[in-house]
Every structure is written in structure tokens, then in C-alpha cells.
Amino acid sequence: MSDRHHHDGHEHRRTSPLHRLTHLLTPHSHETADKLDSALESSARGVRALWVSLAVLGVTALAQAVVVAVSGSVALLGDTVHNAADALTAVPLGIAFVLGRRAATRRFTYGYGRAEDLAGIAIVLTIAASAAFAGWTALGRLLDPRPVEHVPVVAVAALVGFAGNEWVARYRIRVGRSIGSAALVADGLHARTDGFTSLAVLLGAGGAALGWRYADPVVGLAITAAIVLVLRDAAREVFRRVLDAVDPALVDRAERALTRVPGVRGVGELRLRWIGHRLRAEVAVVVDGGATVREAHRVAVEAEHALLHAVPRLASVLVHADPEPVPGEADPHLALAHHAARGTP
């Protein structure tokens, strides 16, 4: 038998006895309406974080672009292009968050949370394009070096770039962790890396001030290398999400929670997957073979409830109850064996 419920995910960390007592005495619900409200609130916070960071990075890139025009610094140009690209990544993520608010349909039965994965792919491609442009420009200047003008202004623009990126990084990471969006957290870490590349521009300005004409293009190439490192990490994270990878620690936490549920005599197949910034679980638990349908259903509900409290950002759970095997009894799943052998659903 299977028991299908859709609940809102709650993140219940180990807290003080007073907090746990307050939680027990405070009415709380896992009903569908609450899940929808929580998902909408999370998406709204994510969209707000994206548009605010878009504005900050947009102003930062614009200020740097003005300095690039008067100074001719390719190091600052690479940093400006990367900041502009980072700001534009807010667009696909914002669209993904808006799509994620839409309810599931008969065609998209899991909803539209996967739009975040598509946004992640768009972000990776944007980072790759910015790396290619910055590298090409720096290489061209290395082959044909030119003096950098208005070095003090370039240094100030580099500091502006660092400040803007660091503020955006802190904001995106804080909101991303709060709502459980790996894409938003990764974008925040990306912005933090951009801040350090801005400091590299400052080093290039210092080298140019000392008369080393290759300082600017060399720093431009160093910034390109930093962008490539960000690209590698971002691509790896997106690749894992597309293949439904989760932190093994979450699986361990879920198994421990299930083994503590009264009536659960074993934990079979357990699967977790991200759909947007929410988790979905599917698990088979072993129950008393002599239990009635109502008793097995009660155990399944308690197992589901335990998972919702144990696993952060878990939105829905599907629990399948298997009877405890009896010596000499045929495997009840034997009729499905030929489907599994062929790899068919």
C-alpha cells in the first residue's frame, strides 16, 4: 500500500528544551494551503533578493564602465563585464522563481520548480561567455600593450566593484540559505569571487602606476582564470542538481528519523530529490505484516511527519508500507521483477 501526502517543509534544528516545548504548544500545520503560502513566500523573497542585487550590481558595473571608457584598462573591463554578467543572471533566476509559484498541472504534475535548474544552466553559459570575452580582450592587450590612463580612478573603481559585489554576496547567500535555494547561494558565492577579482584590478592599477606596462593585461588574464574557476564550480553544482544529487547527510538524517518511528521495523528504498528549492522524498518502510490497513496507514503518516521535521525544506513525502517478510512467504514484489529487469517503470 502507499500513502500520499503533500506537506510543507519545516527546518527543525536541534534546539533548547524550551524551544521544543514552545513548538509543541504552538499550533502548526502541514496542510496544502500552508505549503503553498510557504513556497510563495520563499519565491517572493528570492525574487526580491535578485532584483535588489541586480540594481546594486548594475550601478556598480555602470560606474566601472565609465572608468573603462576613460582609462582603457582591460583588467577593469574584464571585471566590469563579469559584474554585468553577474547582474544579468538575476533575470533567468527571477523568471524561474516566478514560474515556481505556479501550481502543478496535469502535464507538469511536479510543478515548475525545475525551472531553477534551467536557470542554473543559463547562468553557467553566461559565466562562460564573460570568461571568453575577458580572456580574449586581455590576450589582445598583452600582445599590443598600451598605457593605462587615470590610474587613481581605476583604483577607486576597483574598490567600488569589491564593495558592490561583497554586499550582494552577503545578501544573496543569506536569503538563499534561508529559503533553501542552492542556485541563489551559488550566485552569492559567485558575486563574492567577483569582489576578489575587483581587488585584483587594484593590483593591476598599482603595477601600472609603477610603470609595468604588462600589469593590466596580466591581471586581466588572472581575472579570466578566476572566472573559469567560478565556472567550474557553478557547472558542477548545476550538473549535480540536474542529476538529482543530494547531500548524503540528508539521506542519513532521514534514515535515522524513520528508524525512530514506532511501528517502523525497517527502512527500504529512500530517495530524495530537489525540485527547485524544495525537496521531495519517496521511501518504503517495513511494518508489521499482520497490521490492518488503518494501522499501516498510521505508521506511514507518522513516518512522513517525522521526515518533515527532520529534513530541512522537505515539501512532500510519498511513503510506501511493505509488510515484514515471513519465512517461506513469496516476495510480494515478485510480480514486478520483470519490469525492474528491463529497466521499465
- Asked whether 79 and 161 are in contact (CB, 8 A), the reply is yes
The residue that leads in pLDDT, 248 or 218, is 248
Which of 40-49, 71-80, 111-120 ranks highest by mean pLDDT?
111-120
Q: What is the reported pLDDT for 60?
A: 81
**Does residue 289 sit in helix, strand or coil?**
coil
Distance (Å, rounded) from C-alpha 297 to C-alpha 315? Answer: 20
- Asked whether 324 and 265 are in contact (CB, 8 A), the reply is yes
Q: What is the reported pLDDT for 257?
A: 94
Banded model confidence at residue 27, pLDDT cuts 50, 70, 90: very low
Distance (Å, rounded) from C-alpha 195 to C-alpha 296? Answer: 55
> Average of pLDDT values for 264-270?
91
Q: What is the Cα gyration radius of the chain?
A: 26
| Residue 321 dihedral angles phi and psi, to the nearest 5° | -95, 120
Distance (Å, rounded) from C-alpha 220 to C-alpha 270? Answer: 48
Q: What is the reported pLDDT for 259?
A: 92
| Strand partners for 275 | 278
pLDDT at position 223 over 50: yes
pLDDT at position 63 over 50: yes
- The label of the residue with cell 564550480 reads 233
Provide the residue type at 117 as one letter.
Answer: D
Helix ranges (H only) for the chain are: 17-25, 32-71, 74-88, 90-100, 115-143, 151-179, 182-209, 215-242, 248-259, 293-310, 337-342
> Average of pLDDT values for 330-339?
71
> Average of pLDDT values for 203-229?
75
pLDDT at position 18 over 60: no
> Average of pLDDT values for 98-127?
82
Provide the residue type at 286 as one letter.
Answer: V
pLDDT 10s digits, 66-112 = 887 777 776 677 777 767 777 777 777 778 877 877 888 889 888 88
Q: What is the reported pLDDT for 150?
A: 67
Q: What is the reported pLDDT for 146?
A: 64
Please state, rounded to an integer, the average pLDDT across all residues of the chain: 75
The residue that leads in pLDDT, 265 or 88, is 265
Kindly provide the b/e burial profile for residues 291-323, where b requires at least 16 CB atoms within 10 angstroms of the residue's own CB. Answer: beeeebbbbbebbbbbbbbbbebbbbbbbebbb
Q: What is the reported pLDDT for 40?
A: 40
Which residue from 54, 79, 82 is spatially nearest to 67, judged by alpha carbons? 79
| Strand partners for 282 | 271, 318
Kindly provide the b/e burial profile for residues 193-218, where b requires at least 16 CB atoms within 10 angstroms of the residue's own CB. Answer: bbbebbebbbbbbbbbeeeeeebbbb
**Does residue 204 sit in helix, strand or coil?**
helix
The residue that leads in pLDDT, 133 or 41, is 133
> Average of pLDDT values for 339-344?
56
What is the CA angle 300-303-304, rounded to 5?
90
> Average of pLDDT values for 163-190?
78
